[in-house]
């Protein structure tokens, strides 16, 4: 299954839930700035809980509007995944009038270990086996309730994982005379805006020109957002910065070279162009509505909702 771009967690979780591209539902990154709100959104702030950021209609609201109950168990991460499965099985024991019809659960474990260990290391096998055991726990619980042939289960990932390391980082300070007037959201893709919104000297076209084809071995390509490939559907939202950097797989982009030694805390990352094979992820369906032992061609994750 193909994630939406950027192949990051929050944009894809919400695209799975709404059937919309990030430019339409508004969650254009794990971190973002809204010039109308004059506010920032990131995974560590309480601002992410403010409903004003979240557009579209997630499937649990669609279910409620169609007269059926829905239950979700995404956060907090402090609750063990095994406990989340147990809670969902307990929900299935509720009286018919109280029992949800649609369930959704998220596990952050594969992503956490993929970043830490990288996608190719054998150290990742144990965390993957743990997820397999958790799926087994769900199936065992359904079998005990004699529901394993009655419910439809969809198991999906939100994105893939690629090898990455701090040693493979491009720095804008190696391309631009000064980076003092810009803000960069760094990582496996780059989004650039003026550091001060009313800076009359900031010219996105000039910045893109100064970053284009400057080195024989250049591991990113700059775009004005309206010139990004249309297949990415990543332009029509005020939270998407005017300048976007598509970064080569395995590489990162940062604003300037850090001073002194630095610790590199990751061996894997995602967020790259969603056509790259390593960004693809799993779709598995099981239940009476799914054909048995059938393999389908790759499809975009927005199709799940639709």
Instruction: Let me know whether 158 and 180 are in one domain.
Output: no
**Range of lowest pLDDT (25-39, 71-85, 94-108, 287-301):** 71-85
% of the chain surpassing 90 pLDDT: 84
- Residue 69: which CATH number? 3.40.720.10
**Which distant-in-sequence residues (6+ apart) come within 8 Å of 53 by Cβ?**
26, 27, 34, 41, 47
Q: Is residue 231 part of a domain?
A: yes
Total number of domains constituting the chain: 2
- Residue 252: which CATH number? 3.30.1360.180
Mean pLDDT, range 96-122, rounded to an integer:
91
Can you give the pLDDT at residue 168?
A: 96
* Cα-based angle 66, 57, 96 (whole degrees, multiple of 5): 35
How long, in residues, is the chain? 306
Q: What is the DSSP string of 253-287?
A: EESSPPSS------SEE--S-TTSGGG---EEEES
Q: Is residue 1 part of a domain?
A: no
Instruction: Let me know whether 79 and 39 are in one domain.
Output: yes
Q: Is residue 2 part of a domain?
A: no
Q: Is residue 3 part of a domain?
A: no
Can you give the pLDDT at residue 103?
A: 94
Tokens of 272: 């790259």
pLDDT at 154 over 90: yes
% of the chain surpassing 70 pLDDT: 99
Instruction: Let me know whether 51 and 144 are in one domain.
Output: yes
State the DSSP code for 144.
Answer: H
State the DSSP code for 248.
Answer: P
Instruction: Let me know whether 16 and 124 are in one domain.
Output: yes
Q: Annotated catalytic sites, by residue?
A: 9
Q: Is residue 4 part of a domain?
A: no
Q: Is residue 193 part of a domain?
A: yes
| Residue 217 backbone phi and psi in degrees, to 5 | -110, 80
Instruction: Let me know whether 195 and 249 are in one domain.
Output: yes
Instruction: Let me know whether 146 and 289 are in one domain.
Output: yes
Can you give the pLDDT at residue 77?
A: 61
Can you give the pLDDT at residue 76?
A: 56
pLDDT by residue (tens digit) across 219-263?
999 999 999 999 999 999 999 999 999 999 999 999 998 887 778
Instruction: Let me know whether 75 and 157 are in one domain.
Output: yes
Edge-to-edge strand list for the sheet holding 182-185: 182-185, 189-194, 243-247, 220-224
Contact 56, 22 (CB under 8 A): no
Contact 280, 63 (CB under 8 A): no
Which domain, by its residues, includes 208? 169-265
pLDDT at 192 over 90: yes
Can you give the pLDDT at residue 246?
A: 98
Can you give the pLDDT at residue 265?
A: 85
pLDDT at 175 over 80: yes
- Of the pLDDT bands very low, low, confident and very high (cuts 50, 70, 90), residue 197 is confident
Instruction: Let me know whether 146 and 182 are in one domain.
Output: no
The closest alpha carbon to 2, from 282, 208, 204, belongs to 282
| Residue 19 backbone phi and psi in degrees, to 5 | 75, 20
Contact 235, 127 (CB under 8 A): no
């Amino acid at each position: 299954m193909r994630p939406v771009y950027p192949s990051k967690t929050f944009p894809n979780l919400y695209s799975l839930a709404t059937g919309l591209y990030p430019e339409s539902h508004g969650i254009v990154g794990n971190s973002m700035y809204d010039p109308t709100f004059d506010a920032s959104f990131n995974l560590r702030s309480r601002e992410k809980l403010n409903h004003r950021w979240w557009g579209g209609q997630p499937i649990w609201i669609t279910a409620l509007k169609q007269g059926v109950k829905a239950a979700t168990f995404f956060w907090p991460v402090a609750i063990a995944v095994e406990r989340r499965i147990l809670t969902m099985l307990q929900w299935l024991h509720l009286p018919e009038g109280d029992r949800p019809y649609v369930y959704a659960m998220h596990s952050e474990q594969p992503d956490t270990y993929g970043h830490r260990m990288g996608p190719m290391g054998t150290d990742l096998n144990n965390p993957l086996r743990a997820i397999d055991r958790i799926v087994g726990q769900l199936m065992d619980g359904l079998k005990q309730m004699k529901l394993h042939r009655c419910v439809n289960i969809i198991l999906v990932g939100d994105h893939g994982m690629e090898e990455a390391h701090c040693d493979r980082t491009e720095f804008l300070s190696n391309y631009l005379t000064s980076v003092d007037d810009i803000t960069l959201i760094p990582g496996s893709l780059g989004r650039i805006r003026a550091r001060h919104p009313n800076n009359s000297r900031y010219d996105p076209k000039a910045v893109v020109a100064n970053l284009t084809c400057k080195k024989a071995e250049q591991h990113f390509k700059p775009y004005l957002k309206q010139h990004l490939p249309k297949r990415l559907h990543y332009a029509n939202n005020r939270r998407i910065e005017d300048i976007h950097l598509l970064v080569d797989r395995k590489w990162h982009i940062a604003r300037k070279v850090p001073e002194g030694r630095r610790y590199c805390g990751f061996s894997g990352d995602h967020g790259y162009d969603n056509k790259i094979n390593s960004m693809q992820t799993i779709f598995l369906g099981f239940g009476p509505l799914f054909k048995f032992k059938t393999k389908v061609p790759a499809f975009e994750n927005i199709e799940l909702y639709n």
